[in-house]
Structure 1
């Protein structure tokens, strides 16, 4: 039995959400909709009186000034609609088993006001006014309003049937017939079970169980699949690669990890062995940093995928050492083009604009609700991301120096804390290890998770209390693979026994195998000494966080799984963690040659400057940034948007981890996938250089900078894809070693391809480099907006004829070949000189030259500061003779900065930069104009800075 409460705006008031939906419907190409009204629906299960329904509505759901409500009324409601216009009703609700955080909050609120119900479900009812066909209404429902992967749709006169009945589970221990299977059958078992294991791996498992003379239990096979997944073990980067005839044994160890070992920085506390990398900060605290990817889930369900990507990386910080406190989020996204026509969207793919809005909302809601500032990020667009959006989520944390080490001990209790376990996230780790296709939503819909930031915030508060009281010896999060990976990793050198029936569930009906591999969110696993059991349970109880003992660690290095006194699984830890056969793959790389354009020179390049400013990868991301809280926790020094109106594009963010201190940290990132089309080596080198020069631009130095790598590639079973990955990894070693910047953590995400009935869409090779730097005195911070007329403008660094992969070529439809390269010897001199100038506080503003080159960098500084610039290209320091104005305007050569200096400081500044290439190219002027004279001293750019700003801001003014 259930009752319905519907809440809606009074007819005399506008419906904000309805108006937004109407605009979205029009934007997707469906004219004829005159209005949309939205009803929020609450389905309440149980025998609830009319009086209680009134109380629930008035106390919890309704703003009585602007809203009305009805309960147990007609499902066809069209208040506020014209009786003469046709209307259409669509009702949307979450599928069974898909978590809705609102439901949990409502249940808690009902308990607080003393009303008992059996359960709650929410839905949204959209009443669309307009002359539309039923086919159009259905298209609107599936393309604009609902995500069919996680939501059910009912179009009137269909009547929703909300059944609250529980699904009961009847225990049956299942085995998988593997011992006598031939190779074809082994591959079939892997495919049908979504194990994502290759034939060699399935043969290794078969050999192991033949030695035991028994068939594997289903839960054992699932455990091995999660542990051996590409997502968890990085088996490609750790495998054996034949690259153009050269044998590479463990690419990761020979590049990314090797540079850190060779640099041997004493301030690196923990690298590549915990949930996040740790570096020293001050006498009391260290800093930890991790960046994860959540690509495939975000393709299936953008909000939930990004939401849980953020939640997961926050838990990485909470699970580093004995627990860090998250203090900063950074998020970088890659999407298909937002203006892609509907008829160009492959089957099974969400529209890029829909993906983008869902991803941004997911990141926004989780970070804001957790009270963690999101102060750094970037967005990239390319048509090849249409089937595989990339969602990079990063978190920085602070941790006491004496809490950075952890180790579970024999006889420690296994305690699961936080959220309950459901079916969300089943096969998440293995799902992330395969290509996507048009049936991924049907096959892998169970891999979608929905997060609950409020639960995680309470979990964080309780964990920090328990940490400071010394109540546990080890901690990790339930990420990919759920309990199977968390307990399997913690107990690798011990062994463990787990009683799966003790795991708290969201609802009945889960099998023991589902409980074990579910990736339900907001859960962590602790190793607790038996004598601390009652105290730690009390700490969690006082914070209303569920904590349950579900087993203990042993000494025999065997993982044993029990369910209601029945043994359902038993695996040797040695085989689980070391039994996987090494991958052996071939890799090749040959440089592609693109058409080298010969563009006609122009008298006026103002149109080109505005066109690049309006390009998707350059234009303002203010629509995204403003949705994030940058001020929470009170440590923000330099935020993403800067200038007189706080809307100019900053280079990096600065925060103070310990309030009251002058010591801060700088976080930046570098990425340019288009360079990878030409040469992945130089793409990776440029990404490192960009991340480092952003740190220098805001007032930092190279004294203590650590890097993180995130490789997102296509199917590395294909030699050309793997070859480009090898090239990029080698560049990471070479450039990081030369700059003296160790890697402390990283993550790879492979198989980012989408298979259609016509083609395979492969993402461009994409490497994100994140950088974190300790800043001794945040008072040295420098923003990018120019400050006052009369100040001098310098271009620091060497400009080369490097337009390959540039935005200038791209807006004209070309790629080119002369990709920007990195000269580390020169780069070190430039960055060190600018750091010294910052320390002497003689730099008024600084902005690194990246996308769009000098012209775009100058335009951004000008409209951010509200002043103009008068510049002359003939003063630029170049490598060799450059005779073209467009090359000087738009080259994206590395390690270059535009710097503003007061006239009285020019001698002091030039003394600092005398050994590096530079040019004093102009000055700040009071007129709101960007004026640039070309090589012939003729004016080639003459634009009002506010016209430039409008070009930059308008594309994403949604």
Structure 2
């Protein structure tokens, strides 16, 4: 234990963040005058006291002397009414503290030992009188009780001594190597075991959800009956992780009704890709699909690019910052773990949250216990989490979206994705292929193992309820990950120092080692060799912990010295924890005892198959019975200000999208800085090619027609890339299903329809799926303020991500109107299709007619349009029509270019329906007059000339003048909703 504790407090001479911080807290309803922030470092050592002059030097190294001052073992003086200190609870990852510790170690020339540490905290000085309940609420806003400790003092209590010196050390009692679990119990008790977990013999408390149902528990019991023994807790926990919905995707793998005997994944997603690849033959762009940590397509003759999009929904509901940070660094590891290691080169994100202006009163426990976080706090946390993950890792984050619906208030959806790049071969070896061999050493590299992340996989396979475990929350460490990412991808890979690699994600070592063991048919792990953050962890905790920043590699014994020596020089910890075998078994030892010995075949394939039944949903959704307004000026202004249409640049500017130097077309475009739906990035220096990315989702369509919803998402994701000039021939897709109440037959019917839509539309466009992920139980179960049981489910949500290769980025076009006098076209016909549209939502109605799609005809049009853009350079700008329809798309193109338009629409539909219908397969395109004839010849009847650019106003006429607005006013409406964030 630490004997000497010192405290260094760093404050700004003039804090540039103070006004923004204060305004943000006021925005949340706290009447304060000022909110100052002091950074605190607590240094705890056991071996010797650090001298005063050394502490002063350490303080100087933790301070920017131009703008900051510091004090050592003294209280910072300031004018305030309350002091609130927020630090991390024991065992929670403290990235700032870790970096400070390394700085001190470098300066003193020592290494901190057991019981020694540096922890960070934030000390807030609040000026302004607050009632006691508001002070408590403010502290809850600044901290998260699941990961933070909070101390509050008044000015009088603060006095001359200041805040207390707190050392957040973990203290655990050593637990037995392993215990056995009796499964010969009644089904009622078995069901409780599956839901609440094993009863810990030391504490008498349940350990947390196994997420195993009765059929699964019966199969496990029968297996161990055949072995003539009881399972150990390690074995049962390991089976729970491996068989979890999160890892095994049991709903997508199960037979469904009479027409899907092989399950939705094999019948719809995998089958579409296999059939597309077979039809393409030599034109197939896929390299690796569905079998590795990411999917990969051909970039050029020398390189491939990978893509993977993950979800981190449940952790983000509890700790938005940690959940999102863990999500983005976790999917970075999916890239590093592809083949023999791809370099992460682009990050993407997506946030589905409740309206940030709302504050739903929902609680996980009775009597207002454990309130959910308000949407604004969730949004703030997930934005910061992805930012820290990407910015600290040096990975550009150009692509992403926000989508708002109050049904995401109980459980947000947080999407995190990464694109990687790697050579296809090195020294004659295919780098996208890997295989552990018997005799290879199992080596864990990166961070140490702690109690954070325990039951993460099983927790994510359950609805969010009062029993959601604190240990499921993790906080990532991007600095540690950056170190091993660079040494693996830039050095060890090309030196041939390992044969296989994967990340420690869901299920930790229990899943990563066991998955790699399938490559050689066996593994033997010595669990007591695993490096820990602190002593006292039980064997089952070490085995299933999802502590971050870890990879597992298969290293030939003769390469071990070279491998570990290289990592040591790069300050990356690497530990041999076992050996791969060919025994057909997964064997785990701990302190000389065998705590797990299971057939690999049973571990991976013993999961009993389900046969799911669906029930068709038949509902009627009314549309508005309202006349068309005579003028649509106010309507367009209101539409531009809707949460799902307006600018979210406040998110974009927090992410570095130009690092690594590949930026071509970024997240906001044009003089007016309009949010793009697609981005373009160079990932191979010297190549004229680039990677285009886009995403689309239409949750508002799901309840009305989930089949067409899938078509809308696929079409829009493809159109985003087509608008850049990328041919459908060079595009691949990723699917992310986030469903709710997935054990209900009606929800399963919607899922089935959406999956069928994926098959049909992907086939029609010829765009294969290369990777995907599903998250099935996105529901909140709890109480309202009056103690009534409440269940809040997300709308059935399908995110489609697209990746495509642009042949020459110099010929790509952005979305903004460029030159006065250019012609404005809409490509594609417009129908009265407003069911689930933003316009009908604005009017307060769902509507019944979701846009339908002729994908084959659309594909033909898209091929001609990309030819006009990239081959003939006839197009000045292109923008896909999406949420809000043609009127919103015209306004955005005009705002981006800060250039007016004079538009005339045909009289085929009601003017408001024509302007705000969300009919698919459409673009707004501007073309120079000199190219008119050639462009119209190429696009034919698909191109409808609407008008031309010029002036400072958007003017739209039908049979009468419909609207006329200054572009400046439209821009203000578009940017106003989040300007204060």
Q: Same fold (TM over 0.5)?
A: yes
* Deviation of 1:363 (Å): 0.5
Q: Residues of 2 paired with 1:462 and 1:201: CA distance?
A: 41
CA change 1:531–1:169 in 2 (3 A) is farther
Q: Residues of 1 paired with 2:719 and 2:169: CA distance?
A: 59
1:675 matches 2:696? no
Q: Residues of 2 paired with 1:36 and 1:342: CA distance?
A: 26
Q: What residue is the counterpart of 1:253 in the other structure?
A: 266
* Deviation of 1:825 (Å): 2.4
User: Aligned to 1:576, what secondary structure does the other structure show?
Assistant: helix
* Deviation of 1:856 (Å): 0.5
Which residues of 2 match residues 622-637 of structure 1 at below 5 A?
A: 622-637=649-664
Q: What residue is the counterpart of 2:333 in the other structure?
A: 315
User: Aligned to 1:755, what secondary structure does the other structure show?
Assistant: strand
Note the alpha carbon deviations across 1:86-117, whole angstroms, 9 max, x for none.
Answer: x1222221011101011111111111111656
Q: What residue is the counterpart of 1:386 in the other structure?
A: 409
Q: Residues of 1 paired with 2:472 and 2:458: CA distance?
A: 9
Match of 1:892 among 906, 910, 918: 918
1:8–1:38 contact (8 Å) kept in structure 2: no
1:431–1:447 contact (8 Å) kept in structure 2: yes
Q: What residue is the counterpart of 2:104 in the other structure?
A: 110
1:649 matches 2:675? yes
CA change 1:556–1:344 in 2 (3 A) is closer
Match of 2:421 among 395, 398, 408: 398
1:317–1:324 contact (8 Å) kept in structure 2: yes
Q: What residue is the counterpart of 2:236 in the other structure?
A: 221
User: Aligned to 2:850, what secondary structure does the other structure show?
Assistant: coil
CA change 1:904–1:241 in 2 (3 A) is same
Q: Residues of 2 paired with 1:825 and 1:168: CA distance?
A: 62
When the two chains are superposed, the root-mean-square deviation of aligned CA atoms in Å is 1.7
* Deviation of 1:497 (Å): 0.7
Q: Which shifted more, 232-241 or 175-184? A: 175-184
Which residues of 2 match residues 188-337 of structure 1 at below 5 A?
A: 188-193=192-197, 194-242=209-257, 246-264=259-277, 265=280, 266-337=284-355
CA change 1:480–1:850 in 2 (3 A) is same
1:373 matches 2:373? no
Q: What residue is the counterpart of 1:139 in the other structure?
A: 137
* Deviation of 1:344 (Å): 6.8
Q: Residues of 1 paired with 2:541 and 2:57: CA distance?
A: 35
1:941 matches 2:935? no
Q: Which shifted more, 589-598 or 627-636? A: 589-598
Q: What residue is the counterpart of 2:499 in the other structure?
A: 473
TM-score (norm 1): 0.95
CA change 1:787–1:320 in 2 (3 A) is same
Note the alpha carbon deviations across 1:773-803, whole angstroms, 9 max, x for none.
Answer: 1121112201110011111111110100001
CA change 1:8–1:20 in 2 (3 A) is farther
Match of 2:845 among 814, 818, 822: 814
Note the alpha carbon deviations across 1:181-230, whole angstroms, 9 max, x for none.
Answer: 11111112222221011111011111111111111111111110000010
Match of 1:952 among 974, 977, 980: 974
Q: Residues of 2 paired with 1:63 and 1:3: CA distance?
A: 23
CA change 1:561–1:160 in 2 (3 A) is farther
Q: Residues of 2 paired with 1:677 and 1:273: CA distance?
A: 32
Match of 2:121 among 119, 123, 129: 123
1:410 matches 2:453? no
Q: What residue is the counterpart of 1:431 in the other structure?
A: 459
Which residues of 2 match residues 182-193 of structure 1 at below 5 A?
A: 182-193=186-197
Structure 1 unmatched runs, 5+: 82-86, 876-880
* Deviation of 1:133 (Å): 2.1
1:294–1:305 contact (8 Å) kept in structure 2: yes
1:148 matches 2:145? yes
Q: What residue is the counterpart of 2:776 in the other structure?
A: 750
Match of 2:7 among 1, 5, 8: 5
Match of 1:91 among 73, 85, 96: 85
State the aligned residue count: 931
Q: What residue is the counterpart of 1:872 in the other structure?
A: 904
* Deviation of 1:164 (Å): 5.8
Note the alpha carbon deviations across 1:291-317, whole angstroms, 9 max, x for none.
Answer: 111110111101111001000111001
CA change 1:421–1:56 in 2 (3 A) is farther
User: Aligned to 1:108, what secondary structure does the other structure show?
Assistant: helix
User: Aligned to 2:403, what secondary structure does the other structure show?
Assistant: strand
Match of 1:170 among 171, 174, 197: 174
Q: What residue is the counterpart of 1:585 in the other structure?
A: 612
1:335–1:390 contact (8 Å) kept in structure 2: yes
* Deviation of 1:171 (Å): 4.7
Note the alpha carbon deviations across 1:17-59, whole angstroms, 9 max, x for none.
Answer: 444443233222222x222222222211124345245424532
Q: Residues of 2 paired with 1:740 and 1:841: CA distance?
A: 25
User: Aligned to 2:542, what secondary structure does the other structure show?
Assistant: helix
Q: Residues of 2 paired with 1:418 and 1:762: CA distance?
A: 37
Q: What residue is the counterpart of 2:44 in the other structure?
A: 45
Q: Residues of 2 paired with 1:565 and 1:604: CA distance?
A: 81
* Deviation of 1:167 (Å): 2.9
Q: What residue is the counterpart of 2:879 in the other structure?
A: 847
TM-score (norm 2): 0.93
Q: Residues of 1 paired with 2:538 and 2:794: CA distance?
A: 37
Q: Residues of 2 paired with 1:164 and 1:384: CA distance?
A: 37
1:255–1:733 contact (8 Å) kept in structure 2: yes
User: Aligned to 1:221, what secondary structure does the other structure show?
Assistant: helix
Q: Residues of 1 paired with 2:779 and 2:223: CA distance?
A: 33
CA change 1:152–1:792 in 2 (3 A) is same
1:373–1:631 contact (8 Å) kept in structure 2: yes
2:179–2:232 contact (8 Å) kept in structure 1: yes
Which residues of 2 match residues 613-624 of structure 1 at below 5 A?
A: 613-624=640-651
1:930 matches 2:954? yes
2:91–2:170 contact (8 Å) kept in structure 1: no
Q: Which shifted more, 390-399 or 161-170? A: 161-170
1:178–1:186 contact (8 Å) kept in structure 2: no
Q: Residues of 1 paired with 2:362 and 2:304: CA distance?
A: 49
Q: What residue is the counterpart of 1:84 in the other structure?
A: none
User: Aligned to 1:491, what secondary structure does the other structure show?
Assistant: helix
1:6–1:39 contact (8 Å) kept in structure 2: no
Q: Residues of 2 paired with 1:711 and 1:78: CA distance?
A: 52
Structure 1 consecutive aligned stretches of length 4 or more whose deviation exceeds 4 Å: 157-161, 163-166, 342-347
Q: What residue is the counterpart of 2:571 in the other structure?
A: 544
1:778 matches 2:834? no
Q: Residues of 2 paired with 1:205 and 1:29: CA distance?
A: 53
* Deviation of 1:890 (Å): 0.6
1:606–1:942 contact (8 Å) kept in structure 2: yes
